Amino acid sequence: MPAEAPFAALRGQLHDAAGKFGGGEVAAEILTGLVDDVDRALREALEIFPVCHHSPASAVAMARRLRAKQPKVIYLELCEDLQPLLGELANCTLPVALQAYASELDGFPAEWGPLSVIAPITEASAEYQAISYALTTPGVELVCVDHSADHVFQQKPPERSTAEPPERSAAEPSEPASAEPALHGDAVGVQLGDLRPRFAELEAFLLHHGKVRHWSEWWDQYVEQPLVGADHETYRQVMVLIGSLFRRLTPDPGRLAEDEARERYMWTRIRAHHSQSTVDIGDCLYVCGAFHAATRVDQFGVDSTAAYEIGPRTETSWLYGLIPSSHSAIEAQFGLAPGSVSIAAATWSRATSGRGAVRPYRLSSAKSGKTAKASTPRVTTATAPAEPGGDMLSEFLSAPSRPGGLDDDELRGWCVDLVRLARRNGYLASTADAIAVFETSMLLAGIRGRHRPTPYDFSDAAVTCIEKDTVPGRRDVATLCGILLGGDRIGRVGYDALPPLARDVYDRLTPLGLDLTARTQKRALLDLAAQPELRPCSDLLWLLRRLLPDGTVRPIMGERTLGESSVQESWDLALGRNQRSLIELGYDGVTVEQVLEQRLRRAAWDPTATAGTALAAVEDSILFLANRRFTEELGARAVSLLAAERTVAGAPDVLRRIRRLLTYYRGVAPTLPGWVQEFVTAGYAHYCTLLPVATVDEETSVRQVAAMLGFLFSMESLALSLGCDRAQLELAVAQSHPETPATIALLWAARYQLGLLTLADLRSRCDELLGNPLTVPSFPAYLSGFVQALDPAPGLTGFVVEALSGAFARLPDEVLLPWLPTLLTTLRAEAAELMPLLVREAGRTFPGSLRALDTWTPPWAETPPAPIPAVPAVAGPAVELLAERPDSCDAVAALLGSTDPWHGTVSVPPAGLLTEHPATATAVAALLD
């Protein structure tokens, strides 16, 4: 029992206070328990340094402590498997996030994938100070001791639907301050020193009584400001006290159990490392969140012997990298108030600049020429260091709050700068407004009980004085204040810290001569005729466009489709702004080509893949990869997928794609590749087999049947030349007995195409339908079928125009009008295939001018001219020629299977033309003689 500890007096005081408040034993236990926790943490042989995330006060205290203590080993609450990445931070512009990423899961449910954990690092954080110190000071070892990314998910499945932490206060604005929060994607965020009330009521209570709007402001006012400049012991005790308070008021035992599991893990790792190390425990420092400093698990302390078994990782292979982050992304990820991380950054830069300020540790890039050096140790504590373990809490808790916030000069500077910024953004702001903002800031600070205005007061004052009824430009005053206070800083991952794929992309785009790491959008102009050496860049850009999200690389001019490429191209490139997508692409492979190949392969061999997806993959492989063997592999896969399909749902897609591919191959190669030939013959047989079923199947639409027929008729000549039998198609059509009017009409068209029906038959059938009052209402459905038949039977276009015209002329309005929207939507959806045919035919049929309309009669209404009887040519030079040389005719007859030889002697008078103009025939005869 630590009754004789230095906290005895404080403990007694708190016990009395609990009695006075009437909280009973529970309150007394909580209050004195807080002191016990502080006492326990401070007595631990391994120095525990409690921190809070993105807290400049923590960072300042950390920098001071590191200079004073010069520890040899630092244990850090950070995923242990992220440690190898820390060295790369030197190549980056902060804030960036360490990322662990896994897309191929083994041991986790497949629907969780891809898994991603990110740990953002800002400059104004204690962990960055510890990392920089450890990496720049020779002989210092840094050990990350927290759960690995794998263990993070073992303990807690990803919650994609709830990006916001549940305890987020209702008073906080819900909309993100900028468009950048998507920078982290849907990764699970981990951060060092998560310190926040664990239930909404406590946070609401603190905010209400603290007279502040959101948690960041409360923390700034009640913890940050008083602690800036505090000595190490006070800092430690206060932080552990707050951690202990939130810990003891955690209502959710499940969440506490998660934290305790992590604490057991961390202490087990620390003990394991320390037992193998020769470094004295006094030279070690354990940096963890204040919440974990107040832990009560058995494994706490280096002297503890309580065992804890660390479970194995799953077989999932994790990939690691750095991605850019930003202040607003961090705020969005962790539910902080917009602008709070920027304000923390501003406070940090104030604390580290000027005379007597703390000297921070920084990682410097190896490239910049500066050597990564350890700063000489120098103690620069703001106040005299207290005796370790003494009670600093009583004094701190009873002392009046110290003046913090902005000094007059700084505030004045901000007011002037803000007015200038506002003017540039369309506000009619003047010097008078600067004065008003200054005055109002002071008054607001006064009414809120602060000695000096804080950035939050300044921002409120600016909104009060400058914002009027409308916002003149794109940015309102609150946004301008955010910009002034450092704005949303966006980090950048340096070249050396990029994965090989991203480096390769940057290298290959070097000939463009653009700085692609910049965050601004760049315009690339490629004149491929004049500079053919830029062709590989163009290929790469098209590939990137296929793989990266929209807006990263965007063609302004030029296109790439099958068989077409541009002579000039113009691109908008925003690779710098979308570095994360490029980096995440790097987790999938070493080059972009390899990534695309993998993705195409995955798509084509997916259990849900269809022939259409495989053909799409074939197209992509031709366009982007130029790898013939791979294309053929994908083509073969398409053939097997088509043969295995049992429905015709994908028929329209298949037809469109195979037509495009056929056109392409006919243009570039003398013969069609083997897989295309196989695809056509397999498709012909496949669709012939499915046709009878598809025409009666209720789930198969007319469009799909039309696409099947389109395939059969348009590929027919090719299929027959490759050995298919036309009888198969004729049989299939004969076996089809559709029941719905649209499909019936479609089948009539098919039979017409096969020569089994004549145009006159079709016409008379339509007339019958229109003439019978019982069938008139279903006539539009027949018409829909005919419209769909334009694709498989283009010869029927004239008849379709005729039928449509007839429908408009003869159908009653109550039948015609409800059908018109269906017709329009059909034509619109299939515009590319159907409209050109229909419009051309209609243009041919209908008169071109209004005047001509009066005298116009539709061609189908004209009485057909009497057929001129065919008069066989019986005499003349042609007949003579044939009679004299019967060999050719006999040979053709033999070829056609006729054994009857041709007798050229027919005594019929010669036809008029040959009689009147015999010159040609005579000339040919003379030539042959």
Partner 1 sequence: MTDDLLRAPAEVKYADELNWLESVDDGPKPFSWRLSPKMVRLFILGSERADGLEREIPQKWFGDRSFVERAIVTLASDRGLLLIGDPGTGKSWLAELLSAAICRNSTLVVQGTAGTTEDHIKYSWNVSMVIAKGQSRESMIPSPIMTAMERGVIGRFEELTRSTSDVQDALISILSEKYVSIPELDDDNIVFAQPGFSIIATANSRDRGVNDLSSALKRRFNFVRIPVVTNKKSETEIVRFRTEELLKRHAIELDVPPSLLSILLQSFADLRAAAQSAASDDEKLESALSTAEQIGVLEDAILSSHFFGDRTLTAQRLASSLVGSLARRSPEDLAILNKYWHGVVEPRSKAEGGEWPAFLDGGRDTIATLS
Q: Which residues bind partner 1 (CB under 8 A)?
A: 170-171, 208-209, 211, 213, 428, 430, 432-433, 436, 439-440, 443-444, 446-449, 460-461, 463-465, 467-469
In angstroms, what is the minimal distance from the CB of 225 to partner 1?
Answer: 19
How far apart are alpha carbons 621 and 605 in whole angstroms?
A: 15
Of 612, 231, 206, 258, the C-alpha closest to 393 is 231
By beta-carbon proximity to partner 1, the closer residue of 469 and 739 is 469
Give every CB contact of residue 543 below 8 A, 6+ residues apart in sequence. 592, 593, 596, 624
| Contact indicator for 726, 716 with CB cutoff of 8 Å | yes
CB 198 within 8 A of CB 252: yes
Residue 82 Cβ, how far from partner 1 at the closest point, in Å? Answer: 40
The CB-of-17 to partner 1 minimum distance in angstroms stands at 15
Stated as kind and residue range, the H or E segment containing 266 is: helix 253-275
- Helix 797-810 with 759-771: angle, nearest 10 deg: 20
For partner 1, the closer of residues 435 and 889 by Cβ is 435
Identify the CA nearest to 202 among candidates 169, 154, 158: 169
Q: Compare residues 469 and 887 and give the one whose CB is closer to partner 1.
A: 469
Structure tokens at 329: 């992304």
Here the tokens at position 607 are 């259990």
840-to-351, 707, 798, 834, 846 alpha-carbon distances in Å: 77, 21, 10, 10, 10
Q: Which is nearer to partner 1, 280 or 408 (CB)?
A: 408
Distance in Å, CB of 444 to partner 1, minimum: 5
Cis peptide before 869 (omega within 30 of 0): no
Least Å from the CB of residue 322 to partner 1: 39
Q: How far is the CB of 338 from partner 1 (least distance, A)?
A: 15
272: CB partners within 8 A, 6+ apart: none
Of 432 and 861, which has the nearer Cβ to partner 1? 432
Q: What is the smallest separation between the CB atom of 340 and partner 1, expressed in angstroms?
A: 16
Q: In angstroms, what CA-CA distances link 92 with 368, 371, 485, 573, 814?
A: 12, 16, 22, 21, 71
- How far apart are CB 458 and partner 1 at their closest, in Å? 13
Cβ contact 152:323 at 8 Å: no
Residue whose CB is less far from partner 1, 13 or 464: 464
CA distance 799 to 859: 11
Among residues 20 and 378, whose Cβ is nearest to partner 1?
Answer: 20
Measured CA angle at 378 (ends 377, 379), to 5 deg: 125
Go through 896-921 and write b for each residue having 16 or more CB atoms within 10 A of its CB, e for each that does not. Answer: eeeeeeeeeeeeeebbeebeeeeeeb
**Beta carbon nearer to partner 1, 213 or 765:** 213
Q: What's the closest the beta carbon of residue 440 comes to partner 1, in angstroms?
A: 5
Q: Are 748 and 736 in contact (CB under 8 A)?
A: no
Taking the least distance from each CB to partner 1, the nearer of 275 and 470 is: 470
> Which ranges of 494-578 would DSSP assign to H, the alpha helix?
500-508, 535-547
CB of residue 218 to partner 1, shortest distance in Å: 13
Give the nearer residue to partner 1 in terms of CB position, either 469 or 515: 469
Smaller CB distance to partner 1: residue 213 or 763? 213
741-753 vs 726-735: helix crossing angle, rounded to 10: 150
- Minimum CB separation of residue 234 from partner 1 in Å reads 25
Question: C-beta of 449: minimal distance to partner 1 in Å?
Answer: 8
State which H helix or E strand residue 610 sits in.
Answer: none
Cβ-based nearer residue to partner 1, 459 or 695: 459
Distance of CA 116 to the CA centre of its chain: 14
8-state DSSP, 402: P
173 versus 843: smaller Cβ distance to partner 1? 173
Instruction: Write out the H or E segment, with its range, that includes residue 746.
Output: helix 741-753
**Shortest distance (Å) from residue 464 CB to partner 1:** 5
